[in-house]
């Protein structure tokens, strides 16, 4: 397997609005990030992925871009951004930017032009259709509730928006639009950025005709995703993008791809196909949802997680490359989700980190994960800022007849704002995030969960992450080794072995709060040499057979 810097890197995601506010307006900003670069360097990360900082009216916190060549006023200026890049590079780290080109903002100049008239030169940059029988052109539902179509008075037809109505989908069938996107990518790469995370990039090719989706229950609108996820021209578009742009730079690329499976991901990431290096897949993030989607709560069955992760580990081994993540700005906090954010917060956060960081792939850490930040409970729906949460609550509770408490429960469990409360720097007012009023409320647990406390405590989650990152740098087996699942049907223990050049790594994790006996299956040969890391003091027990403590994790190297 070819060795590359992006396989050996650990990435840290910054959601700028919630990271650090330098000027007291309550909104995180670029200068605020610069102030914290030494903190990230201490953690040991290699690459920063910055969620969007481009000009935006903020309907979806920057994922609605009105100018791809400029910086959002809330976050600072282009000079600030250039300084950020220099300061990152000066510390030996890299910066990848978010590329959001499935859609733009409706306030983008292209859309302002396009909506004026049918013969406007930018008209074909977006997706327009006539209504059908006085209704929308098809029955697709927007990710953020309601129809995926919005009527345009001036031209008497509708435009497609898979996300909010302020996020019209770009028309990738149009070669001029594609060239404009490539030009913009080159502009940023020539400024020195080290790659891109590409927002819902597997949505850009839609099935021609945009057919109605099957609707057996007669819902007002249903997901049309089968007609735009991994669509007919997607690989052609990505190969074109690669040839025109990416191949000319030594950069890192990761495509965010809801609804991608292993076979499809092999095509996207295969080293001989020249598309992308990695994808963010969602299978493991969907395991705790029922048939009605993310708000339909269901407990995680550990055996499902093993089956899914193992399929990805084995499927991409030697063919493509995995990204490894348990958190991002769209997901609830993993310590609350798959761990225990009360009595065993520290143990379970470390266990989950061990499980993830010992896998094959490139690990991603989301801001606050490294100090074990947790989900939040706001009693008042008005305290939630996320467009997805607000629209869903309105549709289900205000306009529909869903039960308030039940919907709030689903927001507590799955809402995106769980990940978006301000970073907890210290135990001062507003957790040291701002001296003003934060744009979204701080999690009240900041007095005991904060970075100042964590960096001062050698047993903290922060220092455990630091060690995991160091280990990855010292042990090529962690990056490149093959993966072998053991105990596939155990309901509480997730254990696996990595193999590389005659060496082995044994990773054992307890996903439960009850102690549990572990014994290595007889057919597995493993001669332990040393314990590399663990989240309890080393009790010198033999890794072949012992009792795991609540949420315990251990990693042994051997032969």
Give Dmax over CA atoms of the chain in angstroms. Answer: 76
The DSSP code for 555 is: E
Phi-psi category of residue 196: left, alpha or beta, with phi > 0 → left and psi -120 to 50 → alpha: beta
Supply the minimum distance, in Å, between the C-beta of residue 64 and ligand TEU.
7
User: Which of ligand TEU, Ca ion, none does residue 25 bind (CB under 5 to 8 Å by kind)?
Assistant: Ca ion
In order of 58, 84, 114, 337, the CA distances from 334 in angstroms are 26, 29, 42, 5
Supply the minimum distance, in Å, between the C-beta of residue 92 and ligand TEU.
28
Contact, 205 vs 146, CB < 8 A?
Answer: no
Backbone angles phi, psi at 343, to 5 degrees: -60, -35
Closer CB to ligand TEU, residue 332 or residue 363?
A: 332
Supply the minimum distance, in Å, between the C-beta of residue 22 and Ca ion.
6
The DSSP bridge pattern shows strands 195-198 and 94-99 to be parallel
Supply the minimum distance, in Å, between the C-beta of residue 50 and Ca ion.
15
The DSSP code for 338 is: T
Supply the minimum distance, in Å, between the C-beta of residue 421 and Ca ion.
16
Closer CB to ligand TEU, residue 387 or residue 495?
A: 387
Closer CB to ligand TEU, residue 62 or residue 339?
A: 62
User: Which of Ca ion, ligand TEU, none does residue 275 bind (CB under 5 to 8 Å by kind)?
Assistant: none
Q: Which residues bind to Ca ion, rule: CB under 5 A? A: 21, 23, 25, 27, 29
CA–CA dist 295, 291 (Å, integer): 10
Phi-psi category of residue 345: left, alpha or beta, with phi > 0 → left and psi -120 to 50 → alpha: alpha
User: Which of ligand TEU, Ca ion, none does residue 29 bind (CB under 5 to 8 Å by kind)?
Assistant: Ca ion
Q: Which residues bind to ligand TEU, rule: CB under 6 A? A: 60, 63, 100, 143, 163, 199-200, 256, 258, 294, 329-330, 388
Closer CB to ligand TEU, residue 411 or residue 468?
A: 411
Supply the minimum distance, in Å, between the C-beta of residue 293 and ligand TEU.
8
User: Which of ligand TEU, Ca ion, none does residue 341 bind (CB under 5 to 8 Å by kind)?
Assistant: none
3-state DSSP assignment of residue 126: strand
Closer CB to Ca ion, residue 32 or residue 368?
A: 32
User: Which of Ca ion, ligand TEU, none does residue 27 bind (CB under 5 to 8 Å by kind)?
Assistant: Ca ion
3-state DSSP assignment of residue 41: helix
Closer CB to ligand TEU, residue 102 or residue 535?
A: 102
Closer CB to ligand TEU, residue 255 or residue 543?
A: 255
Q: Please list the residues that pair with 366 across neighbouring strands.
A: 13
User: Which of ligand TEU, Ca ion, none does residue 169 bind (CB under 5 to 8 Å by kind)?
Assistant: none
Supply the minimum distance, in Å, between the C-beta of residue 559 and ligand TEU.
42
Cα 303 to its chain centre, rounded Å, is 23
Identify the H or E element spanning 350: helix 345-357
3-state DSSP assignment of residue 315: helix
Give the active site residues. 199, 256
Supply the minimum distance, in Å, between the C-beta of residue 314 and ligand TEU.
25
Closer CB to Ca ion, residue 29 or residue 59?
A: 29
> In this chain, which residue has its C-beta nearest to ligand TEU?
63
Here the tokens at position 473 are 């740098």
- Residue 522 burial (10 A CB sphere; 0-12, 13-18, 19+): exposed
User: Which of Ca ion, ligand TEU, none does residue 283 bind (CB under 5 to 8 Å by kind)?
Assistant: none
Neighbours of 26 (CB within 10 A): 18
User: Which of Ca ion, ligand TEU, none does residue 163 bind (CB under 5 to 8 Å by kind)?
Assistant: ligand TEU
Identify the H or E element spanning 68: strand 67-71
* Residue linked to tokens 């609108």: 221
> In this chain, which residue has its C-beta nearest to Ca ion?
29
Minimal CA–CA distance to 150: which of 163, 132, 136?
136
**Please, what's the b/e burial string for 121-157 (b: 16 or more CB within 10 A of its CB; e: otherwise)?**
ebbbbbbbeeeeeeebbbbbbbbbbbbbbbebeebee
């Amino acid at each position: 397997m070819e060795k590359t810097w992006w396989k050996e890197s650990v990435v840290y995601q910054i959601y700028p609005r919630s990271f650090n506010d330098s000027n007291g307006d309550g909104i995180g900003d670029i200068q605020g990030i610069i102030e914290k670069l030494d903190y990230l360097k201490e953690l040991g990360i290699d690459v920063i992925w910055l969620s969007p900082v481009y000009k935006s009216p903020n309907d979806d916190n920057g994922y609605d871009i009105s100018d791809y060549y400029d910086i959002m006023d809330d976050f600072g200026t282009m000079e600030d951004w250039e300084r950020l890049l220099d300061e990152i590079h000066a510390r030996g780290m890299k910066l990848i930017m978010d590329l959001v080109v499935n859609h733009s903002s409706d306030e983008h100049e292209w859309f302002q032009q396009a909506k004026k008239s049918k013969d406007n030169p930018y008209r074909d940059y977006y997706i327009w259709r006539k209504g059908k029988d006085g209704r929308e052109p098809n029955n697709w539902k927007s990710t953020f509730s309601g129809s995926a179509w919005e009527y345009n008075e001036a031209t008497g037809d509708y435009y497609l928006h898979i996300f909010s109505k302020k996020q019209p989908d770009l028309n990738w069938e149009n070669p001029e639009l594609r060239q404009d996107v490539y030009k913009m990518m080159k502009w940023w790469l020539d400024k020195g950025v080290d790659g891109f995370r590409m927002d819902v990039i597997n949505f850009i090719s839609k099935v021609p005709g945009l057919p109605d989706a099957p609707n057996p229950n007669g819902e007002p609108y249903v997901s049309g995703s089968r007609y735009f996820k991994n669509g007919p021209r997607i690989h052609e578009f990505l190969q074109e993008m690669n040839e025109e742009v990416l191949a000319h730079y030594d950069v890192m690329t990761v495509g965010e791809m809801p609804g991608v499976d292993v076979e499809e991901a092999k095509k996207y990431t295969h080293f001989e196909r020249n598309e992308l290096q990695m994808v963010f897949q969602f299978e493991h993030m969907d395991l705790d949802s029922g048939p009605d989607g993310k708000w339909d709560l269901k407990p995680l069955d550990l055996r499902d997680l093993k089956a899914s992760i193992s399929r990805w580990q084995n499927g991409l081994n030697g063919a493509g490359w995995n990204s490894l993540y348990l958190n991002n700005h769209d997901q609830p906090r993993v310590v609350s989700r798959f761990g225990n954010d009360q009595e065993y917060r520290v143990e379970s956060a470390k266990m989950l980190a061990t499980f993830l960081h010992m896998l094959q792939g490139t690990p991603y850490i989301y801001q606050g994960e490294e100090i074990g930040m947790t989900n939040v409970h706001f009693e008042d729906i008005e305290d939630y800022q996320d467009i997805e949460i607000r629209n869903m609550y309105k549709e289900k509770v205000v306009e529909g007849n869903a039960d308030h408490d039940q919907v709030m429960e689903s927001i507590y469990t799955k809402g995106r704002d769980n990940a978006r409360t301000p970073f907890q720097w210290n135990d001062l007012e507003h957790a040291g995030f701002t001296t003003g009023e934060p744009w979204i409320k701080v999690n009240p647990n900041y007095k005991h969960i904060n970075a100042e406390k964590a960096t001062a405590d050698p047993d903290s989650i922060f220092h455990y992450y630091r060690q995991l990152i160091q280990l990855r740098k010292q042990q090529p087996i962690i990056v490149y080794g093959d993966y072998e699942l053991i105990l596939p049907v155990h309901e509480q223990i997730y254990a696996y072995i990595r193999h590389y050049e005659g060496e082995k790594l044994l990773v054992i994790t307890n996903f439960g709060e009850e102690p549990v006996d572990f014994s290595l299956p007889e057919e597995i040969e493993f001669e332990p040499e040393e314990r590399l890391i663990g989240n309890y003091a080393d009790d010198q027990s033999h890794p072949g057979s012992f009792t795991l403590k609540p949420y315990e994790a251990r990693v042994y190297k051997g032969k």
